[in-house]
């Protein structure tokens, strides 16, 4: 599908990667990973065509449709949300618009309309709007908002619409740079299912470990000035990479030991006539020994360390009756909870539900409408805001100035030491804070928090701009912190590792669970987060509603005196048969989806590609293709039944 051959890229003397050769295949989902600045985004831009390589080439299959998530791409604020998503399928959307325009003319071009309708039908265009709406709702855009202008959404939700636009476009290959940014946990789970069912090739950059583990079948690792293709998901990749690295080190050590032994023989006996021939032989042997070079990895993790100056009292925080609204939008309603010393509390919930607002209220960054919050004795707070511009907005400040302002009495070397642990060395400490990347800005803020030594950490999406190595290091340091942590995060791996208590904000109120995230899911979170349960419930409600509507239609049509007895009987029989046929099709679709999920689960098994024979892999692949065709046919037939029911209304 996509062939990469001898690809190379460098900036000045810095080589990002060279000699990169591999093939990206259909039905494979590649996680593109590497340290910040290693070249992940550059490689993706080369694939897209936004940037030129220094050597090598990228070739695509004929007529390949490429779907690309560009977070800075233009979208008209005045357009309807659903139309922005539909425009992702450029050919069909343009044809639909032209048909509408021609239909309004007094003498429309019938031949042109015929060509357009053929294009629309051939490309499944009459389901375009329903597909767009389904994807938008799956990504968390409320159904009632889809016909409103894009301008009514916040920046994060606009990015969701742009992601929907890419997914709607029927791409053969998807190139996605951080698609989970600005998605809540529920939307991430929906995206996972979409990608697992995607028949094409997908290349995804993400720092969300659980997301990568869930969707990827292969990992492209940007490190050691090249890109290496590993089979399996992220966890399997880590194991494979560590094993390969240790084997290289062992080979290099063995070669150097042999060279040293032969060199010692030459040094000892080289001058002796009786041993000269043997010494020369060993010199030749040394020249032939190839020492495997173990290069330096680009991966570096910051050294987070959080220590408290003194402990708080047993009662850390009491929140009572907090309410907050923005205009007519009520985000917090009568929120009540208490937090004790040493707890690590994960605050979760859908986007826009009030998580960040809650943290801003308890840190006194905004005022509540009603209610109170009270901190316990000896409380000192370190606050990490989701929007770094809230604190890094002075263009005159450098990282050194920013961190030093927290401890003006301390020495420069102490401050530089804290910045050094956050990977700022040399002149890096003198950059302007307004020019820092997202990851650099996050590390500077953490450097300031750590030097203040608070006993309470309040963190709003702390992992957003960190790479995986930094996220791992942050989680370990927070786990070792003896104080209290309250945090908001959509990174499920991070929440699972840290939280010993879950507070979920819901429209109907707060749900306080005394336990970790995995236990929360097992006991209380299935209905909220399990997409299959949600889908089945929605389908059941839809069937029930349609059954009532059909019954009402039969009564109405039977009472209409203008319809003949035979016609009324035919309609009644058909209306009676169609729901049964629909139920059979839905059951068939459920069965096919289950079989497809079983195959996807086998693909996701890290041992699949190493332990399954090639002929068995091909057999499973053919079975997956057959299931895909059967599922598509069943869904198409189900849609026809639904259309007929609607037309007979």
Domain assignment present for residue 296? The answer is no
Number of other CB atoms surrounding residue 605 within 10 Å: 15
Amino acid 500: pLDDT: 95
Cβ-Cβ contacts under 8 Å for 135 (sequence gap 6 or more): 85, 164, 167, 168, 194
**Does a structural domain hold residue 302?**
no
Mean pLDDT by 10 residues, the chain (649 residues): 92 91 94 89 92 93 86 72 92 88 81 86 88 90 90 82 90 91 82 91 93 95 92 92 80 81 77 70 78 72 93 95 88 94 93 90 94 95 90 91 93 93 91 89 95 96 90 95 95 93 90 91 55 40 45 45 58 71 76 77 64 76 75 74 67
Q: Residue 294 falls within a domain, yes or no?
A: no
Q: Are residues 447 and 486 in the same domain?
A: yes
Q: Which residues pair with 231 in a beta bridge?
A: 218
Residue 608 has a CB neighbour count (10 Å cut-off) of: 18
DSSP 26: T
Q: How far apart are CA 594 and CA 588, in angstroms?
A: 10
Q: 437 and 535: one domain?
A: no
List, in order, residues 6 or more apart from 432 with CB less than 8 Å away.
395, 396, 397, 398
Q: What local confidence, expressed as pLDDT, does residue 544 receive?
A: 43
Beta-sheet strands, E only, within 305-424: 315-326, 329-340, 344-348, 370-375, 381-384
For residue 1, the domain's CATH number is 3.40.50.300
Q: What angle do CA 380, 407, 382 make, to 5 degrees?
A: 30
The DSSP bridge partners found for residue 14 are 11
User: Does 309 map to a domain?
Assistant: no
**Does residue 614 lie in a domain region?**
yes
Question: Residue 447 in contact with residue 399, Cβ under 8 Å?
Answer: yes
Q: Is residue 196 part of a domain?
A: yes
Two structure tokens written together for 123: 């490309």
Cα–Cα distance measured from residue 113 to residue 95, given in angstroms and rounded to the nearest whole number = 9
Burial of 278: CB neighbours in 10 Å, binned 0-12, 13-18, 19+: middle
Cα separation, 67 vs 70, whole angstroms:
10
- Looking at the fold, whether 374 and 437 belong to one and the same domain comes out as yes
Q: What share of the chain is helix, strand, coil (3-state, %, to 5)?
A: 50, 20, 30
DSSP symbol at 291: P
- The pLDDT assigned to 321 comes to 93
Same-domain check for residues 11 and 55? yes
Please give the pLDDT value at position 550.
47
Tell me the longest C-alpha to C-alpha distance in the chain.
124
d(CA 96, CA 117): 8
Q: Report how far Cα 360 is from the mean position of its chain's Cα atoms.
A: 26
Q: Give the orientation angle of helix 185-196 with respect to helix 128-138, to 10 degrees.
A: 130
pLDDT of residue 292: 65
- Are the C-beta atoms of residues 46 and 4 closer than 8 Å to each other? no
- Taking only Cα atoms into account, the Rg of the chain, rounded to an integer number of angstroms, comes to 30
Cβ burial, residue 514 (10 Å; 0-12/13-18/19+) = exposed
Backbone angles phi, psi at 424, to 5 degrees: -105, 115
306 in any annotated domain? no
Q: Does 448 share its domain with 572?
A: no
Residue that finishes a domain, picked among 166, 195, 222? 166
CA-to-CA distance for 253 and 250, rounded, in angstroms?
A: 5
496 and 395 inside one domain: yes
Question: What CATH number does residue 625 fall under?
Answer: 1.10.287.380
Q: Which domain holds residue 83?
A: 78-166
In sequence order, what E strands does 518-585 have? none
Edge-first strand listing for the sheet containing 2-11? 14-24, 2-11, 55-60
Secondary structure element (H or E) that encloses residue 42, with its range: helix 40-48
Whether residue 537 is found in the same domain as residue 497: no
Unique residue bearing structure tokens 């079975």: 623
DSSP character at residue 612: S
Let me know whether 322 and 418 are in one domain.
yes
CA distances from 648 to 126, 129, 543, 555, 566 (A): 19, 21, 17, 13, 15
Instruction: Give the whole-angstrom CA distance, residue 54 versus residue 513.
Output: 54
- Is residue 364 located within the same domain as residue 506? yes
Determine, yes or no, domain membership for 299.
no
CA-based angle 428:430:436, to the nearest 5?
A: 65
Pair 580, 492 in one domain? no
Place of tokens 């810095």: 14
The span from the CA of 316 to the CA of 338, in Å, is: 8
If asked whether residues 115 and 56 sit together in one domain, one would say no
Same domain, 372 and 487: yes
Contact 310, 378 (CB under 8 A): yes
Rounded Cα–Cα distance for residues 398 and 428 (Å): 9
- Final residue before a domain boundary, out of 461, 496, 518: 518
- pLDDT for res 561: 47
State the DSSP code for 434. Answer: G
**pTM of the predicted model, to two decimals?**
0.69
What the block records as the tokens of 475 is: 């989680």
- Count structural domains, the chain: 5
Which residues pair with residue 22 across a beta bridge?
A: 4
Which residues are paired to 635 by β-bridges? none
Helix (H) or strand (E) run with residue 119 in it: helix 110-122
User: Which domain-ending residue is among 483, 518, 553?
Assistant: 518
């Amino acid at each position: 599908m996509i062939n990469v051959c001898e690809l190379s890229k460098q900036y000045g003397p810095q080589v990002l990667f060279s000699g990169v050769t591999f093939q990206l295949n259909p039905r494979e989902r590649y996680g593109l990973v590497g340290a910040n600045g290693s070249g992940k985004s550059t490689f993706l831009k080369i694939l897209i065509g936004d940037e030129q390589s220094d050597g090598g080439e990228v070739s695509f299959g004929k007529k390949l449709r490429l779907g690309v998530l560009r977070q800075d791409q233009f979208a008209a604020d005045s357009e309807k949300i659903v139309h922005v998503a539909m425009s992702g399928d450029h050919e069909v959307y343009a044809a639909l618009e032209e048909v509408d325009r021609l239909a309004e003319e007094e003498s429309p071009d019938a031949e042109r309309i015929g060509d357009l309708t053929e294009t629309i039908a051939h490309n499944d265009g009459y389901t375009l709007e329903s597909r767009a709406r389904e994807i938008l709702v799956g990504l968390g855009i409320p159904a009632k908002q889809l016909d409103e202008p894009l301008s009514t959404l916040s920046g994060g939700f606009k990015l969701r619409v742009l992601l929907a636009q890419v997914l709607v476009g029927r791409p053969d290959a998807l190139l996605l740079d951080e698609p989970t940014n600005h998605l809540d946990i529920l939307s991430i789970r929906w995206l996972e299912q979409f990608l697992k069912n995607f028949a094409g090739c997908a290349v995804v950059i993400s720092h969300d470990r659980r997301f990568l583990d869930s969707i990827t079948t292969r990992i492209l690792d940007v490190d050691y000035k090249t890109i290496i293709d590993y089979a399996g998901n992220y966890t399997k990749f880590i194991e494979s990479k560590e094993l390969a690295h240790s084997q290289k080190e062992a080979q290099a050590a063995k070669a150097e030991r042999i060279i040293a032994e032969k060199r010692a023989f030459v040094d000892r006996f080289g001058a002796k006539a009786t041993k000269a021939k043997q010494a020369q032989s060993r010199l030749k042997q040394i020249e032939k020994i190839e020492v495997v070079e173990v290069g330096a990895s680009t991966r570096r993790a910051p050294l987070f360390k959080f220590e408290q100056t003194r402990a708080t009292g047993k009662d850390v925080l009491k929140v009572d009756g907090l309410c907050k609204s923005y205009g007519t939008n009520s985000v917090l309603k009568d929120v009540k909870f208490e937090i004790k010393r040493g707890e690590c509390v994960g605050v979760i919930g859908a986007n826009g539900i009030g998580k960040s607002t809650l943290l801003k209220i308890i840190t006194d960054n905004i005022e509540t409408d009603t209610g109170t919050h009270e901190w316990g004795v000896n409380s000192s707070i370190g606050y990490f805001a989701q929007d770094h511009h809230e604190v890094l907005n002075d263009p005159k400040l450098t990282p050194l100035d920013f961190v030093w302002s927290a401890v003006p009495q301390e020495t420069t070397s102490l401050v530089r030491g804290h910045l050094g642990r956050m990977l700022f060395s040399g002149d890096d400490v003198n950059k302007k804070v307004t020019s820092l990347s997202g990851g650099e800005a996050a590390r500077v803020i953490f450097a300031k928090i750590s030097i203040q030594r608070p006993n309470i950490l309040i963190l709003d999406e702390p992992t957003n701009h960190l790479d995986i190595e930094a996220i791992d290091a942050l989680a370990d340091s927070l786990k070792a912190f003896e104080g209290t942590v309250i945090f908001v995060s959509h990174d499920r791996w991070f929440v699972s590792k840290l939280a010993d208590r879950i507070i979920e904000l819901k429209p109907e109120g707060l749900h306080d669970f005394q336990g970790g995230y995995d236990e929360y899911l097992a006991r209380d979170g299935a209905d909220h987060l399990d997409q299959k349960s949600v889908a089945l419930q929605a389908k059941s409600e839809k069937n029930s509603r349609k059954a009532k509507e059909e019954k009402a239609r039969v009564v109405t049509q039977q009472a209409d005196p203008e319809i003949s007895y035979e016609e009324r009987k035919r309609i009644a029989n058909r209306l009676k048969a169609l729901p049964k046929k629909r139920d059979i099709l839905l059951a068939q679709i459920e069965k096919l989806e289950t079989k497809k999920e079983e195959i996807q689960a086998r693909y996701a098994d890290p041992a699949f590609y190493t332990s399954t024979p090639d002929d068995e892999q091909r057999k499973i692949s053919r079975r997956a293709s057959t299931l895909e065709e059967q599922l598509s046919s069943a869904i198409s037939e189900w849609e026809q039944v639904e259309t007929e029911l609607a037309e007979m209304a």
